[in-house]
Every structure is written in structure tokens, then in C-alpha cells.
Amino acid sequence: MVMEAPFAYTPLTPTSFLDRSALVFAERTAVVDGDQSWTYAEFRQRARRMAGMLAGLGVAPGDRVAVLAPNTHMLLEAHFGVPLAGGVLVALNSRLNGEELGTLLEHSGATVLLFDRTLADNARVAAARSSSAVRLVDAGDPESEYERLVAEAAELSLPVEDERSLLSINYTSGTTGGPKGVMYHHRGAYLQALAMAYHTRLDAESAHLWTLPMFHCNGWCFTWAVTAAGGRHICLPRFDPAEVWRLFRQERVSHFNAAPTVLTMLANAKEAAPVDWSLRMATGGAPPSPALLARLSELGIHVTHLYGLTETFGPMALCEWKPEWDDLPAGKRAQLRARQGVGNVIACPLRVVDDDGADVPADGETVGELAARGNDVMLGYYRDPEATAASLVGGWFKTGDVGVMHPDGYVEIRDRSKDIIISGGENVASIEVEQALVAHPAVLEAAVVAAPDPVWGEVPVAYVTLKDGQEVTDAELIEFTRGRLAHFKCPKRVVFEELPKTSTGKVEKYVLRAKAAALEPLGG
């Protein structure tokens, strides 16, 4: 029953949170970036001027605007300024090299690239690689073109007509290795931001330190969630444990997010010491270990374990903590907290399904693929209807992650999606590394798998066979890939041996993973 009444449809869009906070918390500090800071009234004005600037540069509704920056105020402003101009935000991974960035720039069709001066070289290489003209705007100090244009621009705020229209494109390394642009809609980002604010208890007294890159799922939608709460964004351009601990204390940080690998560095930093105020953090990408949880507990840091993918606006699930678990022994608590858990308050229930799409028994033992649907699932992959159709089946997003459903409805991942290596919180598609390896004239076949690593969580390890009569060393091959890939994607080790294969010729990566896990540690 649709009511055709004078009732006005008000589209959900995360930019509305900035409008509200600029009204309610006008004089409160919204953004801190080094020595600079802005109030919520100023933050909104800058975002609206950024929109005006973009319109002046020819950005029309639906046009893509790329940003290449570490966690600076400019990148945060772009999360509002770009959609206020009707544009689609493409926040690029600042750890990629110029060639890789060029591929994404080309794929997105972005007409403007805003970049931080520290990444100027890569920005220029990327723009040169794009087949169409890209307008470059530098940012990063008061003399930059960005600051000049923002200062000159008139405020602009275009309305959102359809809340399921395109808000942002987040590139991820999928299993195929090609660029996959995950399309976010306004509705999903709005609801996900509310869910994050609710679950992590953000409010106007919160101080959120940006340890998580904003280019990861738009900062797991905390770019919008912290703004909705009227909290303080503390920008952090470069991760450094000492600097993080300094900011924890100086800004009395209440919230931050990070992968367990980053968390391990923080927990083990020499500056680490127990905090005497409320400090909550959310982690994801891999379950936090019992040892890490124990250490964080000593430090007075409260941990929430989240789970999600780029395709699900970041954390679609969380290990929702039940009060009755507080009384369990520490080991049991760590075991429970390591589970990926249940859908967040705006998500639909997760499923674990077999190859036919039927639910596996909720016995904590039978493995299947995790599947999700709902308002926090992407629209699809940009300009890739085939990949979209393959991943979104009947509205269900197939995560590629393999896990079990426990009897209490909590999901636990047992095996990571076969082809993805998560190194330092970054996704590395094994196939992309394999393609770089087989580009070497001596290489016949290559298979890359994850090996556990105490610092990076996982690192890529390559198993390689050579062409008859050819020779190459492991060091030469690693160097070869470093000329083609971002360094974090390059194999840390190369092993020359026959690849185990199934009867149909598919490489048995689970065999290689077991071998890689059993390798002797590297010397030094």
C-alpha cells in the first residue's frame, strides 16, 4: 500500500549528518590535522566550497572525482564535498604505485584528481597514464591550489534525488586481480554510519583517531559516522606507534580502528601504557589473538571485533558481546571474541551456504561460503556487469570467505577467501602477483599464497616453476615484481618447486598454504 500523500520523500544521504552537526555543534572542533583545526561550522563550509570548486572545474552530477592522499583533512572533506557536487568519490589507495593508480584512474574515468603533495609524483604518473584529460589539484599546505580554490569558491550543495544512486567507488583487489570498483550508494552509507555510531558509542565527546586509512571502505564509513555523532576527527597522515600514543594522550582519544597487525604494533610500542580514560577500538580483517586481547585489556583498551568487506561498506558484522560472557575465563572470552559474529543493527542476518546456496547446518563445524544481503551491500562493481553478476546472486553477495555457523547464530571464518592475502591490513590478490611473476621470461608457472607473519599478519609467498633451461634467483624475481607492483604486494619469498594440482589441473593452494606456513623463518 503506497500512500500518495503530501508526505515528502527525504532521501537518505550521509552528507545530511554534516548539515546537522554544523547546526548543533557549530562551534565544536570537528577536524584536527597537525597544527590546524576546524569547527563543525567551518568543516561544512569547506565541504560546500569544495563542491563549488568541483563544479567550477566542470564536475557534473555522476562524474567521478578521485582523491589520492593519506588521512588528511582534504580527504575527509572530500567525503562530503564530492557528493555535495553530485560527484562520485574515488578515494585511491595511497600505497599503490603510479602505474597501478593510473589503471584505477583510467577505469573510474575520473576527470579530476585531488592529491596530497607528498604523493605528487605518483599522481602525475597516474594522470599521464589515463587516456582522457585529468585535472590535477594539489593539496597539503596553505599555498596549495586546493586551498586557493576552496577559498575562492561559492558554497554548493546539490540535492540527492535517489538515495540508491552512486556515492563512491572503492577499488579492491578481488580474486581476479583486475581493478574492481565497488559501488556504494547513499542509502547504504547513511545506514552503515548510523550503525557504526551506535555500536561503537560515538557521541559529541568522542575523539576519533584516524589510524585506519580513509580509502578503506571510506574509512569503514566512520568518515560519516564520527560526523553524525558530532565527534572530533583526528587526522593521522602516517601511522607511527609513538605518534599514535602521543595523540592518544594529547587529544584524549576515545575511538580508533585498526587491523590486528597495526594493533600489535601499538600494543608492543615502548610508549604503550595503560590509559585512564575510555578508549574503545574496533578491529577487523583478521581475528585478534588471545595474547593481543590480553595485552589490550591490560592497557585499558576496549576491543570490538568487526567483520566485513569492501563490498559491504566495511563492517557488516560484529562480534556482538553478550553481558553474560563477561564472567567466562579469559581464554574462552578470547575464543568468543575472535568470532566474526552477527550482522550489525542495520544488516540482514549473515548466511553460510553450500555450493547449491543452501544453508549449512549451524553446528560450528560444517564449512560453507558466507553470504550477505541488505542495505549494506554494494550496488555492484563499476563497469563490470560480469563480476557483479558473479558475486551478487539473487541479491545475495557471495563473500568468498569460508566459515562456519555456530549454534548460537555467530559466524566464524575458518579459511580466508582462497586467493586473497591480507598483508598489513591491505588486500593482495594472489593472481595479480602471479601475473607479475609469469611476466618474467624465465617463469613457467607461479602460485602465490599467504604465509603467516608476525609483523604483517600475512605475507605473499610464491611457488614457481621455471621454463626448461632457464635460470633465475629468488632475489631476482622479487626485484622483478617490485618494478611492477606496490612493494607490499611483492612476494617475501620465492620457492622453486612443482605445483600440486588437482586432476582437472587446478593448483591446490591449500597444500601450498600449509607448506608456506611450515617454512623456516627468514633469517635476520
Q: Which residues bind a copy of itself (CB under 8 A)?
A: 1-3, 5-10, 12, 16-17, 19-20, 23-26, 28, 61-62, 162, 164-166, 183, 185, 194, 197-198, 201, 204-205, 228, 320, 322-324, 342-343, 345-346, 348-349, 373-375, 377-380, 388-389, 392-396, 408-409
Task: Please give the Cα distance from 5 to 89 (Å, whole number).
Answer: 34
**Cβ nearer to a copy of itself, comparing 3 with 358:** 3
Nearest distance from C-beta of residue 379 to a copy of itself, angstroms? 4
Q: What is the DSSP string of 83-139?
A: HHTT-EEEE--TTS-HHHHHHHHHHHT-SEEEEEGGGHHHHHHHHHHSSS--EEEEE
Output 264 or 312, the one with its CB closest to a copy of itself: 312
Residue 460: all three cell numbers together: 605473499
Q: Cα 307 from chain centroid?
A: 11
Task: Give whichever of 323 and 469 is closer to a copy of itself, judged by the CB atom.
Answer: 323
Least Å distance between CB 13 and a copy of itself? 12
Q: Which of residues 51 and 485 has its CB atom nearest to a copy of itself in the complex?
A: 51
Query: With respect to a copy of itself, which residue has the nearer C-beta, 205 or 476?
Result: 205
**DSSP state string for 177-205:** -SEEEEEEEHHHHHHHHHHHHHHTT--TT
Pick 260 or 284: Cβ nearer a copy of itself: 284
Closest contact distance (angstroms) between CB of 386 and a copy of itself is: 11
Ramachandran area for residue 300 (φ above 0: left; ψ -120 to 50: alpha; else beta): left
Cβ 465 to a copy of itself shortest distance, Å = 39
C-beta of 186 vs 440, nearer to a copy of itself: 186
Question: Which of 92, 37, 48 shows the shortest CA–CA distance to 70?
Answer: 92
CA gap 231, 21 in Å, rounded? 9
User: How many angstroms separate the Cα of 452 from the Cα of each of 175, 306, 421, 517, 520?
Assistant: 19, 21, 10, 6, 11
* Residue (320 or 445) nearer to a copy of itself, CB: 320
CB atoms within 10 A of CB 271: 13
Q: How far is the CB of 271 from a copy of itself (least distance, A)?
A: 27
Measured from the CB of residue 391, what is the shortest distance to a copy of itself in angstroms? 8
d(CA 439, CA 313): 34
Instruction: Decide: 512 and 463 in contact? Cβ < 8 Å.
Output: yes
| Smallest gap from residue 374 Cβ to a copy of itself (A) | 5
The CB-of-26 to a copy of itself minimum distance in angstroms stands at: 7
CA atoms within 13 A on the CB side of 484: 16
- Choose between 305 and 489: whose C-beta lies nearer to a copy of itself: 305
Distance CA 224, CA 221 (A): 6
Burial environment of residue 85 by CB neighbours within 10 A (0 to 12, 13 to 18, 19 or more): buried
SS3 307: strand
* Cell 601499538, located at residue: 266
Residues 6+ apart with CB under 8 A from 224: 14, 17, 79, 189, 190, 192, 193, 218
Closest contact distance (angstroms) between CB of 312 and a copy of itself is: 12
| Nearer of residues 79 and 373 to a copy of itself, judged by Cβ | 373
Give the nearest distance from C-beta 321 to a copy of itself in angstroms.
8
- Four-residue CA torsion sign, 36, 39, 40, 45: negative
